[in-house]
A and B are shown apart, each in its own frame.
Chain A
Amino acid sequence: MQVNTVYQPEILIQNNKTFSDVNNEVSVHTERFPTFKWWFCFLAATSAFLLGATLASIMFRDGLGVLGLNQPNGWGVFIVNFVFWIGIGHAGTLISAILFLFRQKWRTAINRSAEAMTIFAVMTALIFPVIHTGRPWYAIFWLIPYPNQRGLWVNFRSPLLWDVFAVGTYFTISLIFWYIGMIPDLASIRDRAKNGIRKFIYTVLSLGWRGSNKHWSHYEIAYMILAGLSTPLVLSVHSVVSFDFAVANLPGWHTTIFPPYFVAGAIFSGFAMVVTLLVIAREMFNLQSYITINHLEKMNKIIMATGMMVGYAYACEFFIAWYSGNPFEAYAFVNRAFGPYWWAYWTMASCNVLIPQIFWFKKARTSIPVMFVVALFVNIGMWFERFVITVTSLHRDFVPSSWAYYVPTWYDWGITLGSFGWFLMWFLLFCRFLPVIAMAEIKAIMPTETPHKEVHTNDSK
């Protein structure tokens, strides 16, 4: 077989799309009345959210007793959800910021929706620290460090405070980065818009963008700076979230591996969620030619890589527990795998480490049903990983006389379902009103753009 030594630039946008195709196919969804499929998903998501909201309001009225929490298990499903949703967010920032700095062209197809997913995931995550105190009107009142007549500040040594700053910064920077990146696209939609209201809204949103040379140079500089700012966030925010556990002295929490372990887990579950959402969005908004199998394959590779990192972390935890000779740690990990919550541990281990191994085979990496199923399992596995960390260490720690089981109640599951509803509701609204793909960046890498025309003739076979 003749080895083709000439450098072939990768084909990212298939089916010879032109600039007008991009404009039409991406912004058409913001102009048409949404399809029945969209309405069905949207109503399902909203009803799930309303269910969660009513259960939460009953909880505010009666007290946290309706949940499954009890004496040793101070934290339960709510904190698991908090860490889970923050973890989901990290992939979006990685795709849009770090891959931008690495000049990975393939990110342009998925960075807008991934970044949107980050913002909605963080919005979902922020619900839980507020409602898990049971009296949110009281919690916010004290948790924010504002000068007050009592002369009392918050406790800056507490990891929960670090969370407030870390997640707060992460949310604001991601929002700005996402919005700035979208201004050129909003402007192009504004120009296509006909009737008054939509035109007025998009006009306000696009902040008077005219696509002039000065605008573009400011845009490029701003985008670069924000990408630079977002990159350290990907690593620091989930490390701070892991400090909630690592700083505590519980056996099974107090380990130094937590920060990298949580960041790897975050990227792992984040990419799985991106794959899950884009596989559906790709069909629903027929963007197959922009978000190609090639993109999904690259993401699957990342999923498998981070999956094995997480697997390494599990093994490392067990080794250190044995190696440290500290009987509390040893017992905590043996109890984690073989104690009353063995089922949660083995679900986690199999979903996170074994199932992604299927991606070694190219056929699996590129087949839509396989990757969708694996992505779902990864997210289930990652939810259980946080569940295992939180609950197994809490329900059996130092003093055996206060060991007790934690059983989540319908309120726990209801409000968790509500959080998924809330997340999907926002994501569907985003898909309805805002361009799912960054049109400006896609146009930048489209083949018709490059001068050497003939190079691309042979790909059409």
Chain B
Amino acid sequence: MSETQDDNSINILNKDGIARRDFLTIMGASMALAGISCVRRPIHKIIPYVIQPEEIIPGVANWYASTHPATGVGILVKTREGRPVKLEGNSLHPLSLGALSANIQASVLDLYDPDRLKTPLIINRKTREKEIASWDKIDDLVTEKLKTSKKIRILSQALSGDTTTRLVHEFLNTFGCNGNSHVQYHPLYPEEIVQAQELSYKTRIFPKYDFSKAELVISLGADFLATWGYPLEQANAWAQRRKLRSHNHTHAILSKLICFESHFSLTGANADERFCIRPGDELKIALALAHEIVFNLSQKYSHDQTVISALQTYKPELVTQQMGLPPGEIKKLAKLLWNLRGQSLIVGGGIASKTSSDVALQIAINFLNSVLENESVTVDGTLNPKLVLDHGYSQFYKLISDIKSGKVDLLILAHANILYQLPALELEQILKQVPTVISVTDREDETSQVADFILPDHHYLENWGDHHPTKEIYSLQQPAIAPLHTTRSFQDSLLVWTKKAGLRAYGLLGKHLPSWYEYLKTNWQENIYKTHHIADSFESFWENTLKDGYYRMHSKHVASPRVFKTSSLDHIRAAQPINEGNIQLMFYSKLAMGDGSQANNAWLQEMPDPISTVTWDNYLNISPVLAKKLQIGKNDVVELKQGTHSVHMPVIIQAGMHHSVVSLAVGYGRTAVGKVGNNIGVNAFSFVQTHVEVRKTGKFYKLAETQWHHVTENRPIINDISLNEFRKNASASNHTNPHLRIEKVQTIWPEHEYKGPRWAMAIDLNSCIGCGACVIGCQAENNIPVVGRDNVRVSREMHWIRIDRYYSGDQNNPDVIFQPMLCQHCENAPCETVCPVLATVHSSEGLNEQVYNRCVGTRYCQNNCPYKVRRFNFFDHWKSREETMNLAWNPDVTVRTRGIMEKCTFCTQRIREAKERAKDLDTNIKDGDIQTACQQTCPTQAIVFGDMNDPHSAVSKLKGDLRAFRVLEEVNTKPSISYLTKVRNKEIKHG
């Protein structure tokens, strides 16, 4: 990094007051108001560097490998002129395999969030007024306090990475506290899985569930494709078993996914068979399955007394009848599992099951996986399992009781927003008993109100770090930009404080290393470099790991199946019966919002929820049956009452919900996160997942939905067939009026001829799980603006790619199909003929080009597009980005002002970049060189882009597949995108 980074990119904005992008608006306005005087264009300055940094070439992107700390996923950071503009998955990294989820894609916007805390603050406890202080002053005061206070405790949310943990332990030892005074608390942490693993196999890990080896997957409430466990890796693996090729369609094999859940989750929507159960009943189903297998099928545990006594009472017929499942369902399922033993996988749990019986459920699942010999095949607990936080909730509640009894003198909160996550505990009063509270956060959030010092932390793209997500993978995190504001990383603060305190420092701290970077490097040299005795020098090992982003330790031994400790079954007490009468509340976490730490991210707030397509709000999901019973209609506001606590919130009538369950998304209702995220939705954490009362209030609130009609009206838009139909006839298609399936459609217009490449795309509806990563990836790549809730309410959202979610089949438990809908780049494009100013024309490479500076805004093209994929700038939406957010623009894509139509361009800037790279090397473009932003970030590789004229390209093969069809074929627009029919592994009743 250049040592005199003079931030010329920022001061261009403020010095002459007008950003370059205003030039167009000024020119437009000047044309209108020029009047008589002859106006020359405004004077602009061109400001070079003072010292030319050798690695920055203005106009050429630099890529750096780093890691997303919260998930441990390896990322590549694309930087232009010294600032990150886009994140993409690191294809080498096993947790990413090239893809990124929506919230990781959007985390680049958090770096430029103007509501980030810019300078450290000192809060006077009595008068609550804030004083902006310099870091030196803060350090003096803090070291002062550190030396005087005996018992120091650190509470963090997700501080991961060996070096950071080591630094924290050494810091605590230096100040006389032992290791376990560092406590981690995360509201959505799968604590029960770790505890169950410890009880069943004596190891505190989160096993690696390998879905790519599973022929049959049963999910008992685990949303493993969206939020449970490690969704990116799991979605990729699961989708590998869902890909079909029609050349061997007669005996095609397709994995089967069966879901038991009470809320309509993304995994449930992708399931072949889905059953509605009440939260907490998952345990009964697991035990009934176990009962059937142990008593009738497997001999292994048939004489083991503990097993028999535990499973005795859960007879399959009793449980099937209790759950209201089709008769003999559990027996059939157990038989299926037994036949596929060694190739099946059972997963369960999630936030909804965080009740008293959650550990019991996990133990039952471990038992089932062991009985079915899935150990070390689909469940890997030894070779490369996921590593976990070293201690869970019990430590946290012990810390709270210590604070209450006044045993804590100084508390450091590192990104732990406990006031928001645990409102019921009245932590505000409790934390007053701690003499000094230091809050290290990225913004002034809810918890930092009680702190005495609020210290701004770097964004992860500004900070060093390392992560150890799984046993074999050590992932490095390197900064891609010099810090934007006067922030300092948490690790640097600890180093400075130990140096200033002058006490005898432990371990590496003793060496008084100048910065956290040095500390990290030395730790890597000592721990990782030495222990794995790597051949080449440390320096080159360090550089190579930085280049690749991670280091993989190659373990010699093979995955060995672990022995299940049957004594752990004693923990399964008979679950207390849940009375049918009242309504049960359950939580779920949304794909985009997660635990609410990114609530101020406008892209994520405006990302439509995969199932309900609602943006900007959370809401109570109610089943149609329950809604009719309580006379609750669309857009109603209901009062959710639990004991004395009652809150008003909007409602979504969601098909597929259990008739006596209501669900509410966590991560909303934040009060101190920034202009964008404040007071959006309702804080679910203020409730408890037990029974609740729902009452209609008569008020109305219109939720900002992006899809208002949920059925295809039997039009030729989607095709979903069953596996047997596929085996009989690979190009079978249903859901369409036979009249409309005209094979060859005549046209009177001459065809475009393509001498060079002809760009096209194929989207496999069987692999698309509807996660929406492509929506946010496209938004980051193409400078797509955010329009806000009111504009989404009147259907003016700007996403170039939308995921249409169509229901079909049974009303209360519908089948779902996700269809990514984007510009189809038609051959006979209806938009090209009607645009009066030739703003949209057909290129010589099959692209339907949209020329922003030519468009005058008659919107005729939008009316004439049968797929309705064009978006119009009704306002100057680009002005919604203030101050530092203007650094997040992608400089290769024009920013559109109001009055301009825009649409998916198949990422022309990426096509052009690849063409220029090929021209430089005098080669031609190989298949796969060009990846559109959506294709690049898709976790299941559902989207394939390429040259249709090259018969060997992946896209040509897919388009030639018998399953390929085109949307609205008979309108004769000849779209360039082919969709592949969705094949469900079950019998479908058409009609």
**Residues of A near any B CB (own CB < 8 A):** 62-65, 68-72, 74-75, 129, 132-135, 137-139, 141-143, 152-155, 157-161, 164, 244, 247-250, 325-328, 331, 394, 396-405, 407
Contacts and interface: CB of A to CB of B under 8 A. Distances in A.
A160 B968 contact: no
Which secondary structure dominates where chain A touches chain B?
loop
B709 A401 contact: yes
Interface in B244-294: none
19 contacts: A64-B874, A69-B872, A70-B794, A71-B797, A72-B862, A135-B856, A138-B857, A142-B837, A142-B854, A152-B854, A160-B834, A160-B836, A161-B836, A248-B863, A250-B863, A399-B715, A399-B717, A401-B710, A403-B708
Interface residues of B, number: 57
Interface in B777-816: 791, 794-797, 802, 804-806
B709 A400 contact: yes
B856 A248 contact: no
B720 to A, nearest CB: 15
Contact of B866 (A69, A74, A331, A397): A397
B871 interface: yes
Contacts of B862: 71-72, 74
A63 B871 CA distance: 15
A250 B867 CA distance: 11
A460 to B, nearest CB: 60
B95 interface: no
A353 B304 CA distance: 86
B864 A135 contact: no
B739 interface: yes
Interface string B898-909: 110000000000
Contact of B857 (A135, A155, A394, A397): A135
A68 B835 CA distance: 22
Nearest to B736: A327
Nearest to A75: B863
Given A142-B856, A155-B836, A325-B739, A402 B868 contact: yes
B857 A247 contact: no
A69 B859 contact: yes
Given A63-B874, A248-B830, A398-B715, A155 B837 contact: yes
**Main SS of the interface on chain B?**
loop
A331 B713 contact: yes
Contact of B834 (A70, A143, A248): A248
Contact of A159 (B711, B834, B837): B834
Nearest to B740: A327
Contact of A328 (B715, B856, B860, B875): B715
A425 B712 CA distance: 50
Contacts of A402: 707, 867-868
A158 B715 contact: no
Interface in B20-77: 28, 31-32
Nearest to A65: B874
A401 B32 CA distance: 39
Interface in B879-910: 898-899
A416 to B, nearest CB: 18
A400 B739 CA distance: 19
Contacts of B710: 400-401
Given A155-B835, A400-B713, A401-B709, A249 B857 contact: no
Contacts of B864: 248-250
B807 to A, nearest CB: 11
A394 B707 CA distance: 16
Interface in B356-393: none
Contacts of B868: 71-72, 397-399, 402
A138 B866 contact: no
B971 interface: yes
B837 A143 contact: yes
Top-8 shortest CB links A-B: A74-B859, A65-B874, A402-B868, A401-B804, A404-B795, A137-B32, A160-B836, A63-B898
B821 interface: yes
Contact of A160 (B31, B830, B858): B858
B860 A70 contact: no
Contacts of B794: 68, 70, 404, 407
B335 to A, nearest CB: 40
Contact of A141 (B31, B737, B795, B859): B31
A135 B796 contact: no
B833 interface: yes
B16 interface: no
A399 B835 contact: no
A65 B859 CA distance: 13
